[in-house]
């Protein structure tokens, strides 16, 4: 399964490249954005099932930001600067949710902040965080 972080990395390199003007590159962006949309949709269900409105709001912000980028890559005359701006909007929504709900670092690994009220027993917590939010492989 492709992690959302990986998908964003690929999208960033495509949007920030001269190749962006090629239909094939923008088509690839659409594919990666669809993957991100799916994954964040799972995260949305995760927060929604627990009644965490803020979390649902963050996922909706990201879905909206993905929509803006999708719009930019499908317009008849691609505007790369506008696409880069839309990309910045996506990053902002990632950061906003991470700031509220994520702790840890690359070395120690990432997890939910304990205060988020989303933790079950340690085992289920790890499974939920890794399985439901970004569906990445450990
Ligand atoms: C709705 C909240 C939310 C949004 C929006 C969100 N994330 Fe996350 N993210 C989390 C939480 C919570 C964690 C820590 C738990 C986990 O790893 O599942 C996390 C962890 C991660 C990790 C760490 C995975 C690892 O290596 O351990 C990456 C990478 C990541 N997010 C990328 C992104 C990117 C890129 C975006 C935006 C496109 C994004 N996230 C949007 C909540 C969110």
pLDDT in tens, 2-19: 478 899 999 999 999 999
**Is 73 within the bounds of a domain?**
yes
Phi, psi of 104 (to 5 degrees): 105, -175
User: What are the tens digits of pLDDT across the range 25-80?
Assistant: 999 999 999 999 988 998 898 888 888 899 899 999 999 999 999 999 999 999 99
Q: What pLDDT score was predicted for residue 120?
A: 47
User: What are the tens digits of pLDDT across the range 83-118?
Assistant: 999 999 999 999 999 998 888 888 888 877 776 656
Q: What is the CATH number of the domain that holds 9?
A: 1.20.120
Neighbours of 120 (CB within 10 A): 10
Q: Give the helix ranges, DSSP H, for the chain.
A: 4-15, 23-49, 53-74, 80-101, 122-128
What are the pocket residues of ligand 1 if the criterion is a CB atom closer than 6 Å to any ligand atom? 4-5, 8, 36, 40, 43, 55, 58-59, 62, 90, 93-94, 97-98, 101-102, 109-112, 129-130, 133-134, 136
**Is 70 within the bounds of a domain?**
yes
Residue 96 sits in which domain range? 4-133
**Is 101 within the bounds of a domain?**
yes
Q: What pLDDT score was predicted for residue 102?
A: 86
pLDDT > 90: what percent of the chain? 54
- Gap from CA of 103 to ligand 1 centroid (Å): 10
Q: In which region does residue 75 sit, left (phi positive, over 0), alpha (psi from -120 to 50) or beta (all else)?
A: beta
**Is 138 within the bounds of a domain?**
no
**Is 68 within the bounds of a domain?**
yes
**Is 100 within the bounds of a domain?**
yes
Say what the pTM is: 0.87
Question: In the 8-state DSSP scheme, what is residue 19?
Answer: G
Helix 23-49 crosses helix 53-74 at what angle (to 10 degrees)? Answer: 170
- Split into its structural domains, the chain has a count of 1
């Amino acid at each position: 399964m492709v992690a959302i972080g990986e998908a964003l990395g690929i999208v960033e390199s495509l949007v920030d490249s001269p190749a962006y003007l090629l239909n094939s590159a923008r088509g690839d962006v659409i594919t990666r954005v669809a993957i991100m949309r799916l994954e964040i949709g799972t995260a949305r269900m995760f927060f929604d099932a627990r009644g965490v409105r803020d979390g649902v709001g963050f996922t909706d912000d990201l879905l909206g930001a993905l929509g803006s980028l999708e719009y930019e890559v499908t317009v008849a005359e691609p505007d790369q600067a506008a696409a880069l701006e839309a990309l910045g909007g996506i990053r902002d929504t990632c950061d906003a949710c991470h700031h509220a709900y994520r702790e840890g670092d690359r070395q120690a690994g990432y997890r939910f902040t304990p205060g988020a009220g989303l933790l079950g027993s340690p085992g289920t917590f790890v499974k939920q965080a890794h399985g439901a939010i970004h569906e990445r492989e450990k």
